[in-house]
Amino acid sequence: MAAPFDVTIRGGRIATDRETLQADIGVRDGVIVAIDSRLPPAARDIDAAGRWVLPGGIDSHVHIEQLSGMGRMCADDFYSGTVSAAFGGTTTIIPFAAQHRGKRIPDVVADYARRAREKAVIDYGFHLILADPDEEALTQHLPQAIRDGISSFKVYMTYDALKLDDYQLLDVLALAGREGALVMIHAENHDMIRWIAQRLLERGHTAPKFHAVAHDAIAETEASHRAIALSRLVDVPVLLVHVAGAETVQLVRSAQRLGSKVYAESCPQYLFLTADDLDLPGVEGAKFCCSPPPRDARSQEAVWAGLKDGTLGLYSSDHAPYRFDASGKLPRGEATTFKEMANGVPGIELRLPLLFSEGVQQGRITINEFVALTATNHARMYGLSHCKGNLAVGLDADLALWNPDREVTVSAGMLHDNVGYTPYEGRRLRGWPELVMSRGRVVVEGDRLLAARGSGRYIARRSPEATLPAAGTPPASRLPAMLGLQGKAWPTL
């Protein structure tokens, strides 16, 4: 008789977002079909004794093979980016299909879809970056993209080439509310940053450390507050991405308690780096420049607290890989000013090991919170929980076997991205994903990649299911009813 499973993962400690248990996992046709103690032998048995068996990570904020607002191309394409993700225990990514002004959304989507189809080794969806929400985009192209499974879009409140004004943001929010999509907001006050930067440059302050001065925490908090106000005005949820500062964490927590439908994400760079890391000789600090910038020890603690108490429901990498040369960070070599450096840091491969080591192993978060922050909440927020984000019968067999005792000293040379440096060089981490499975296929085993180029699949996402932190009583706003803005119902939190 044929074995009932293609693969059995035997004897591991399984963690979901809610519980921890000692059990075997049976996989057939790429799907988890049994979780039980002592399953029968399969065609392949994987010994997970002494290992954590965790859902594969979902990284819902990554820039891959993307042209930035400043016109710089990412260092990672869909091959190196997904290989690097897989080696770090991530089995699904949601990169951006980035619209630049004057470009038609269907063309943008088709272009990114073709490139990812040819190269990705793990599964992926797409968000849209929306730089030009004109009438055709709002009435035809965005609704069609949502029907095609692109149920979230990112908008920017800063960057000359991408910035939307408040009127446009309201248009996008209203559309998202009608169609059941999620708006992700890069919240920084453009004019504050521009005004400070101009004065710094006039005084000859060009070094990377001045990037953190120009992108003041008040610019982040002001824009975040405005984004929340716009969302409340039309009663449509927003997700603030890459929250960096202590004040913004506090703002989000207060807004959630008052009933605002605001969700928030943070990233490794806000837990493990500070603005001091930008203060290096010459242009070396450019390796740490991202927007918003890493801030201070108080903000790091606030981000940890926000991840722990659910204020920040998502932990993503914001992998924005730029090489330390003219193609990315240094268009004018040593003469490059902080205004000219590509913004962004790499992190797709180290996102999970950093949080596992410094969060779970140090007792800051539980293993179940780790799962929620790195996988389950992303699936819920981005309409993937029908197939991904947890370990349960019926879901894709996307998982990683973590050796909690493996000690690793981080170096750029051990990573699989195409960046050439890491902001986390020399850090000692404890815990590492040693076997990674995507839809039942072992894609990484030890230091071997077993997945073929192009074997990842596009996942059409559903509408978000916002089931993150509990909110209070929503403030009454009569405006949505008066303007006929009511959209799809969002579940009570």
- Helix, strand, coil: what percent of the chain each, to 5? 35, 20, 45
CB hemisphere CA count around 441 (13 angstroms): 15
* Residue 329 interacting entry, from ligand URP, Zn ion, none, C-beta within 5 to 8 Å by type: none
* Residue 343 interacting entry, from Zn ion, ligand URP, none, C-beta within 5 to 8 Å by type: ligand URP
* Residue 142 interacting entry, from ligand URP, Zn ion, none, C-beta within 5 to 8 Å by type: none
* Residue 146 interacting entry, from ligand URP, Zn ion, none, C-beta within 5 to 8 Å by type: none
CA distance 433 to 110: 33
- Told to check if 343 binds ligand URP by CB under 6 A, we report yes
For the stretch 321-353, what's the b/e string if a residue is b when 16 or more beta carbons lie within 10 angstroms of its beta carbon? bbbbeeebbbbeeeebbbbebbbbbbbbbbbbb
Smallest distance, ligand URP to C-beta of residue 255, A: 21
Nearer to Zn ion, 44 or 339 (CB): 339
Q: What stretch of H or E contains 7? A: strand 7-15
Contact pick of 14, 187, 320, 451 for ligand URP (by CB under 6 A) = 320
Smallest distance, ligand URP to C-beta of residue 69, A: 7
Which residues are registered as beta bridge partners of 186? 156
Q: What stretch of H or E contains 266? A: strand 262-266
Smallest distance, ligand URP to C-beta of residue 134, A: 22
CA 426 to centroid of chain Cα atoms: 24
* Residue 152 interacting entry, from Zn ion, ligand URP, none, C-beta within 5 to 8 Å by type: none
Give residues 216-255 in contact with ligand URP (rule: CB under 6 A). Answer: 242
Helices (H), 260-357: 268-272, 297-309, 351-355
Smallest distance, Zn ion to C-beta of residue 151, A: 18
Give residues 21-80 in contact with ligand URP (rule: CB under 6 A). Answer: 63
Grouping H, G, I as helix, E, B as strand and the rest as coil, residue 467 is coil
Smallest distance, ligand URP to C-beta of residue 242, A: 6
Contact pick of 17, 220, 318, 358 for ligand URP (by CB under 6 A) = 318
- Told to check if 291 binds ligand URP by CB under 6 A, we report yes
CA distance 246 to 221: 9
| CB within 8 Å of 65: residues ≥ 6 apart | 73, 74, 76, 77, 78, 81, 95, 112, 115, 116
Give residues 172-191 in contact with ligand URP (rule: CB under 6 A). Answer: 186
CA distance 186 to 377: 19
Nearer to ligand URP, 133 or 433 (CB): 133
Nearer to ligand URP, 125 or 344 (CB): 344
Contact footprint for Zn ion (CB under 5 A)? 186, 318
CA distance 447 to 291: 32
Nearer to ligand URP, 344 or 353 (CB): 344
Whether 3 contacts 42, CB under 8 Å: yes
Nearer to ligand URP, 188 or 369 (CB): 188
- Told to check if 344 binds ligand URP by CB under 6 A, we report yes
Which residue ranges make up the site for ligand URP (CB under 6 A)? 63, 186, 242, 290-291, 318, 320, 343-344
